[in-house]
Structure 1
Amino acid sequence: MSLNEVRVSVLSLQSCQSDIRTGMDILTDVAMDLAEAREEGVHTGIKEMEVMILECAKLDREIDYFVDIVDQVTSAARAQQPEALVNLSATVKEQFTERIAQLSDADLHNHSKVMAFKDSIKTSFNQANEESAENMEELDEDIAVTQSQVNFTCPLTQVEMVNPMKNKKCNHHYEEPAILDLIKRRHSQNKKCRCPVVGCGNANVRESDLILDQVLRRRIQSQKRQNSHT
């Protein structure tokens, strides 16, 4: 197998990984609907979905490590003799097996989409519990105020967000790939990443501070549907 064929295979794998992540978002949406409906057996259903999203997180993590190892091994192979390509597959398999053996399933709970799943369910339950005939009108007003305060436009891309990430320190939102790319570029320059929102004093945005805001994502989608109807 040539290095070009390896690269094509990696791109196909990354395409599957994108589908896995989309599936995790769909799982979160369905779980939020269940939490808001408050129907009988909702906790059992959500627990089953949590098991599913953890399995997806495990597969997502393994693909990340596999792609990383392939990139390292192929980069090293380019500087060696063609015969090195013969052992390429075995080298990748050996290093991948060693890396996976060192991982803990407990770490899956720190996966960004798993954390977003749990945070979204908690928020949905809280909102459902707050809703009643007495406070429905007041709740609608609060939601309207909240939506007007949260800017749906990413401060980096200057377009409406699709997958908003919330900074737990300063509560600002950014488009997921945009903020992750900014953090990566700043770190490659040995610099801290400042929050791109004008006037924010957060001078060190870290990936660990970010969480996917599935509630805001649903609001953005809801607004799009309303705009299309009008």
Structure 2
Amino acid sequence: MSLSAVHGTLSSLKSCQVDIGTGMDIVTDVAMDLAEAQDNNINPGIKEMEAMILECAKLDREINYFVDVVQQVTSEVNSQQLEAMFSLSAKVKEQFTERIARLSDAELQNHQKVVAFKESIKNSLSQANQEPAENMEELDEDIAVTQSQVNFTCPLTQVAMVNPVKNKKCNHNYDEGAILNLIKTKHSQKKKCRCPVVGCGNTDVKEADLILDQVLRRKIQSQKRQGNRT
């Protein structure tokens, strides 16, 4: 197999990661629906979905490890060193096995989408377990006002967010792609990334501080569906 074919395979694996991420989002949405249903029989279902999320996180990490190892090993040779190509498979297998052996449960628990799953379920259960208000019409009006006040616009792109993330430090939301690009740009300039929300005192936004905001994503999708119907 040529190095170009290897790189093509790695690109396919990275595409698979996108599909895995989409699947994890779908599982989280279904789990949130169960949590919001206030059904006493939902806990086993949510536990099963959490197990699915963890399995997906493990697969995602394994793909990351495999891609990293292959890139590292192939960077040591070039297409002219044909004799070295025969030993690549063994090197990749050995290093990949070592990396997988070090994969811990704690690392899986810290996977961004696993954290987002747990946060989303926690919020959904908290809302579902609240005591019903005596005046439901007044409650509905309050909810409608609150939802109308939610800002779905990314402070960076000035358009509706697609994949909103929340900053754990300042609780501000941004579109994932936009804030990650800003962080990368600032770091390349040897600068810290300031929160783009006007008036925010957070002067050092880090990727580790960002978690996917599945609740907000659902609200954005719901608003979009309502807009399409009207």
Q: Under a length normalisation based on structure 1, what TM-score does the superposition of the two structures give?
A: 0.91
Matched, 1:8 2:8: yes
Where does the alignment leave 5 or more consecutive residues of structure 1 unmatched?
A: none
Per the alignment, residue 22 of structure 1 pairs with 22
* Secondary structure of the structure 2 residue equivalent to 1:124: helix
1:105 CA drift (Å): 1.5
8 Å Cα contact 1:131/1:139 also seen in 2: no
Q: Percent identity?
A: 74
Per the alignment, residue 48 of structure 1 pairs with 48
Greater Cα offset, 92-101 or 212-221: 92-101
Per the alignment, residue 171 of structure 2 pairs with 171
1:177-211 Cα deviation digits (max 9, x unpaired): 22223323333443222112233221111122111
Amino acid of the structure 1 residue aligned with 2:95? Q
8 Å Cα contact 2:153/2:161 also seen in 1: yes
Per the alignment, residue 101 of structure 2 pairs with 101
1:14-50 Cα deviation digits (max 9, x unpaired): 1111111111101110100001101131111111111
- Aligned-residue Cα RMSD (Å) equals 1.9
Amino acid of the structure 2 residue aligned with 1:64? N
* Secondary structure of the structure 1 residue equivalent to 2:7: helix
Per the alignment, residue 90 of structure 2 pairs with 90
8 Å Cα contact 1:156/1:174 also seen in 2: yes
Q: Under a length normalisation based on structure 2, what TM-score does the superposition of the two structures give?
A: 0.91
Greater Cα offset, 168-177 or 82-91: 82-91
8 Å Cα contact 2:2/2:79 also seen in 1: no
Aligned residues: 230
1:138 CA drift (Å): 4.0
8 Å Cα contact 1:193/1:205 also seen in 2: yes
1:133 CA drift (Å): 5.1
Cα distance in structure 2, aligned partners of 1:128 and 1:221: 20
Amino acid of the structure 1 residue aligned with 2:14? Q
Cα distance in structure 2, aligned partners of 1:80 and 1:9: 20
> Aligned pair in 2 of structure 1 residues 156, 72: CA closer, same or farther (>3 Å)?
farther
Cα distance in structure 2, aligned partners of 1:156 and 1:83: 51
* Secondary structure of the structure 2 residue equivalent to 1:130: coil
1:31-71 Cα deviation digits (max 9, x unpaired): 00001101131111111111111111111111112112222
* Secondary structure of the structure 2 residue equivalent to 1:211: strand
Cα distance in structure 1, aligned partners of 2:181 and 2:71: 19
**Runs ≥4 residues deviating over 4 A:** none
Per the alignment, residue 68 of structure 1 pairs with 68
Cα distance in structure 2, aligned partners of 1:163 and 1:97: 33
Amino acid of the structure 2 residue aligned with 1:38? Q
1:163 CA drift (Å): 1.1
8 Å Cα contact 1:54/1:114 also seen in 2: yes
Structure (1/2) with the larger helix percentage: 1
* Secondary structure of the structure 1 residue equivalent to 2:50: helix
Per the alignment, residue 121 of structure 2 pairs with 121
